[in-house]
Structure 1
Amino acid sequence: MRNRQRTLAGYLFVSPQLIGLLVFSLLPVVYALVLSFMNWDGFGARTFVGFENFANQFNNPDFWIAMKNTVYYMIFVIPSSIFLSLFLAVGLNKVRGKELYRVFYFMPVVTSSVSIGVIWMWILNGDFGVLNLLLSHIGINGPDWLTDTHWVIPSIAMLSIWWGLGNNMVIFLAGLQGISRSYYEAAEIDGASRFKQFLNITLPLLSPTTFFIAIMSVIGSFQVFDQAFVMTNGGPAKASYTLVYHIYQQGFIDFKMGQSAASAMILFVIILIFTLIQFKMSKRWVHYGE
């Protein structure tokens, strides 16, 4: 009887989260899947069209522009964010007052994306922006960051790296603090340098943390939208037109809900494939300390 009561209490405690997951995540995914096989403008009757929406997406030049821009963005963001956050975490792991540093670095993470976008529009302004002003003091003539097709994706990537740095750093710090000191003491007795300790102890034992951050970074990079929407509106000349922006454009500007849902399903499958590949690769390099 007592076990049943505990089980019931457990279900009651997790039920709000389960209901939220069902209502706001699982049901919308199922609805989007159904809608991807329909022709619907958001108001009238729905017409079943089979795989026509998917075929239209693969034949749509805008879809491939969005795909190229998203992959280009990922190349900038993922390696840089992982390296910089790990570098900061290692640097802050042993210093005094690291809790205060964590607060400072984490503050952008909890700041509104719109507010951050507006601030960075001012920083990256080609005429009177702070970044170009600083560059001019060292003799560099900065570009028009957000209106130059060659620089707009790197500019958005730079913002995203700064924005997510605190979150990844805190996760790495938690991983570092979970590594037993005994490993380093044994390495010091054997005469291993700090650099060798980092390569042979820290990195291998941080691999589960790195794996988690890599997966979340891939998912987040594929879903980039706020920055492009607020700062560039997908421009200039669709140079910052990303996959999620394409989904938004199809659904809420062109009112092609079926094609928008088909794009979302394609994005879902791409993220799933990348995640499964990373899980497969992790079996070879993830090591867990006892």
Structure 2
Amino acid sequence: MGAKTADVQLRVPVGEAGRPVTPAPGPRPRRRDDRRAAWLFLSPALIGFAVFYAYPTIRGIYYSLTDYNLLSPPNFVGGDNYSQLIGDDEFWNALKVTGYYVVTNIVSQTVLALLLATLMHRLTRSVALRALLLVPWLVPNVTVGLLWMWMLDANLGFVNHITDALGLGTTGFLTSPSWAMPSVALINTWAYTGYTALLLYAGMLQVPQYLYESAALDGAGELRMFTRITLPLLRPILALVLVVSLIGSFQIFDTIAVTTKGGPVSSTRVIYYYIYEQAFTSFHMGYASAVAVVLALILGLLTAVQMRLLRASRSDLA
């Protein structure tokens, strides 16, 4: 019995020029448009930003160009407030005092936070220890200021009792021009070091463990691993911490208002406290707004330079 073969011919429709005709595509599925839902969820944040940030900023810039004093309608004076600011010795002194505080606070806070974060990362990862580190940060700044004002009191303070018992005598930490600002800086270092350490600790957890194991096999010690592995890979988180610390340090006000009130002899009159005095003590609201605008520009410039130098957008883990 012979096999039968059948030739199967595929009939493809052809056009006039003899070319195959591509069948018309069917209706494509319609993509879901989530933009309305996205704007709906973003609207509370956008409204809050407009009401509490954008509008006060615009209004502050306008007041900086006027002689507003809270008691009479503002009159437009152009750049007179900014011209007065350039020759204001008290403004430059306040800026210098603030710079001294910023450097002291950031250096001490960052060094201690790095030390605490490294100890937690390499020795213990106790949840209880992390909770204890957050306690000073959770205490209101006014309470922190009052607490340390009593502890540093020259007559009744606990710290002076210890120094006197050690034969070092007593010191007016918040009443001496040479000790007041370092004392305020260390008070805020105590309050914020734990929070900063937790941020750095979270960044250290992102570093692959095998890097430390390989370095240990090559004979590297803890100090070498910290300088060659931890610090380079921690750069983006460290940049974030430094920028946040810089902005927060320039905004120091409540601790000064509670403890020293800008004294003694203007040694702790930081720029925020100077703005407060001009606005609500001397009622120079227009001039205070001009100082605030200049401060915002300084902070923006310093933040941009800091982000650029630290290459915060790049990570060696990528």
Common fold, TM-score beyond 0.5? Answer: yes
- Residue 248 of structure 1 pairs with residue 276 of structure 2: yes
Report how far residue 106 of structure 1 moved.
0.8
Alignment CA distance shift 1:264-1:148 (3 Å): same
Report how far residue 95 of structure 1 moved.
4.2
- TM norm structure 1: 0.95
Letter of the aligned partner of 1:76 in structure 2? T
Report how far residue 263 of structure 1 moved.
0.4
- Please give the secondary structure, in 1, of the residue aligned with 2:69: coil
**Deviates most, 265-274 or 7-16:** 7-16
> In proportion to residue count, which structure has more helix?
1
Residue equivalent to 2:22: none
C-alpha distance in structure 1 between counterparts of 2:111 and 2:49, whole Å: 32
Letter of the aligned partner of 1:16 in structure 2? P
Q: Which has the higher contact order (CA 8 A, sep 6+)?
A: 1
C-alpha distance in structure 1 between counterparts of 2:312 and 2:279, whole Å: 41
Among residues 178, 197, 217, which one is paired with 2:206 in the alignment? Answer: 178
Report how far residue 198 of structure 1 moved.
1.0
Among residues 149, 154, 157, which one is paired with 1:129 in the alignment? Answer: 157
Structure 2, unaligned stretches of length 5 or more? 1-29
Report matched runs for 1:191-206 at 5 Å. Answer: 191-206=219-234
Letter of the aligned partner of 1:59 in structure 2? G
Contact 1:33 1:261 in 2 (8 A): yes
Among residues 32, 51, 54, which one is paired with 1:3 in the alignment? Answer: 32
Letter of the aligned partner of 1:279 in structure 2? M
RMSD of aligned C-alpha atoms?
A: 1.7
C-alpha distance in structure 2 between counterparts of 1:120 and 1:167, whole Å: 19
Residue equivalent to 2:126: 98
Residue equivalent to 2:246: 218
C-alpha distance in structure 2 between counterparts of 1:211 and 1:195, whole Å: 21
- Please give the secondary structure, in 2, of the residue aligned with 1:18: helix
Q: Deviations over 1:109-152 (max 9, x none)?
A: 12111111111110111111111111122211131011111110
Residue equivalent to 1:234: 262
C-alpha distance in structure 2 between counterparts of 1:284 and 1:37, whole Å: 36
Letter of the aligned partner of 2:188 in structure 1? S
- TM norm structure 2: 0.87
- Residue 31 of structure 1 pairs with residue 59 of structure 2: yes
Among residues 109, 114, 126, which one is paired with 1:86 in the alignment? Answer: 114
- Please give the secondary structure, in 2, of the residue aligned with 1:211: helix
Report how far residue 191 of structure 1 moved.
2.4
Residue equivalent to 1:53: 81
Alignment CA distance shift 1:172-1:228 (3 Å): same
- Residue 159 of structure 1 pairs with residue 187 of structure 2: yes
C-alpha distance in structure 1 between counterparts of 2:216 and 2:271, whole Å: 49
C-alpha distance in structure 1 between counterparts of 2:168 and 2:127, whole Å: 37
**Deviates most, 41-50 or 258-267:** 41-50
C-alpha distance in structure 2 between counterparts of 1:210 and 1:81, whole Å: 12
Task: Write out the 4+ residue segments of structure 1 that deviate beyond 3 Å after TM superposition.
Answer: 94-97, 284-287
Q: Deviations over 1:186-238 (max 9, x none)?
A: 22232222221111100100111111111111111111111111111111121
The alignment-based identity, stated in percent, is 32
- Please give the secondary structure, in 2, of the residue aligned with 1:191: coil
Q: What is the aligned length? A: 289
C-alpha distance in structure 2 between counterparts of 1:162 and 1:2, whole Å: 54
Letter of the aligned partner of 1:242 in structure 2? V
Q: Deviations over 1:25-59 (max 9, x none)?
A: 12111111111101111131211111110111221
C-alpha distance in structure 2 between counterparts of 1:19 and 1:278, whole Å: 30
Alignment CA distance shift 1:96-1:190 (3 Å): closer
Contact 1:208 1:288 in 2 (8 A): no
| Structure possessing the higher radius of gyration over alpha carbons | 2
- Please give the secondary structure, in 2, of the residue aligned with 1:93: helix
Contact 2:67 2:285 in 1 (8 A): yes
Contact 2:239 2:312 in 1 (8 A): no
Contact 1:204 1:286 in 2 (8 A): no
Residue equivalent to 2:138: 110
Alignment CA distance shift 1:284-1:258 (3 Å): closer
